[in-house]
């Protein structure tokens, strides 16, 4: 699938808003991911307010791009580790689906790791008023880009074992 190979982390964005229906389309793509025992242990916070994006851009070292982003989707999970022990894998699949849908829609995106950086997620929780018993899994930074990045080649034959190690 061409979109998989086109996807790159985009951290520079142009001044162009993302339509609300496009943001909902991205979340819908996220929800289409597979989920262990079909528990779907995730929820989303869509952020578009400039002030909030600016605050989020100051929560850690590697999220400065939120200062220029036009939206962010924060993936959160109710931390019920017994009922949903695969919540991180589930949220990871959700995040990748969002990135691929964004690529297909020509919207630049970048995965910002949150969990398990408690110092960072505590700040995000405070800004977005997320209840204490939720985990913040990742933030997806979003914006249109002027220049698409070249696809990169991530194929390493030495990582593949056939039949046994």
The binding site for ligand FMN (CB under 6 A) comprises 8-9, 11, 62-63, 110-113, 152
For ligand FMN, which is the closer residue by CB, 9 or 52? 9
- Phi, psi at 80, each rounded to 5°: -105, 85
The residue whose Cβ lies closest to ligand FMN is: 113
Cβ atoms 157, 25 nearer than 8 A: no
Task: Spell out the alpha helix ranges (H) of the chain.
Answer: 2-6, 20-31, 50-56, 87-104, 118-128
What Rg do the C-alpha atoms of the chain give, in angstroms?
16
Of 27 and 110, CB closest to ligand FMN: 110
Looking at the Cβ atoms of 12 and 40, the one nearer to ligand FMN is 12
Question: Least distance (Å) from ligand FMN to the CB of residue 133?
Answer: 22
CB 141 within 8 A of CB 72: yes
Find the farthest-apart pair of alpha carbons in the chain and give their distance in angstroms, rounded. Answer: 53
23 vs 124, beta carbon nearer ligand FMN: 124
Q: Shortest distance, CB of residue 75 to ligand FMN, whole angstroms?
A: 11
| Nearest by Cα to 87 from 112, 105, 114, 111 | 114
Name which of 20 and 148 has its Cβ closer to ligand FMN: 148
Among 17, 38, 9, 42, residue whose Cα is nearest residue 27: 42
Cβ 82 to ligand FMN shortest distance, Å: 24
Least distance in angstroms from the C-beta of 113 to ligand FMN: 3
In angstroms, give the least distance from the CB of 131 to ligand FMN: 23
> How many angstroms separate the CA atoms of 132 and 116, rounded?
14
């Amino acid at each position: 699938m061409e979109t998989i190979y086109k996807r790159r982390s985009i951290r520079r964005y142009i001044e162009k808003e993302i339509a609300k229906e496009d943001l909902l389309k991205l979340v819908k793509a996220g929800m289409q991911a597979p989920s262990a025992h079909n528990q779907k242990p995730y929820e989303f916070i869509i952020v578009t307010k400039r002030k909030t994006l600016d605050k989020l851009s100051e929560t850690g070292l590697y999220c400065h791009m939120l200062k220029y982003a036009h939206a962010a989707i924060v993936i959160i999970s109710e931390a019920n580790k017994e009922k949903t022990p695969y919540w991180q894998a589930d949220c990871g699949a959700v995040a990748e689906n969002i990135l691929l849908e964004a690529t297909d829609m020509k919207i630049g995106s970048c995965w910002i790791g949150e969990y398990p950086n408690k110092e960072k997620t505590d700040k995000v929780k405070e800004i977005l008023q997320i209840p204490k018993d939720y985990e913040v899994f990742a933030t997806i930074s979003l914006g249109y880009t002027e220049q698409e990045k070249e696809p990169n080649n991530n194929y390493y034959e030495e990582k593949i074992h056939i039949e046994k190690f």
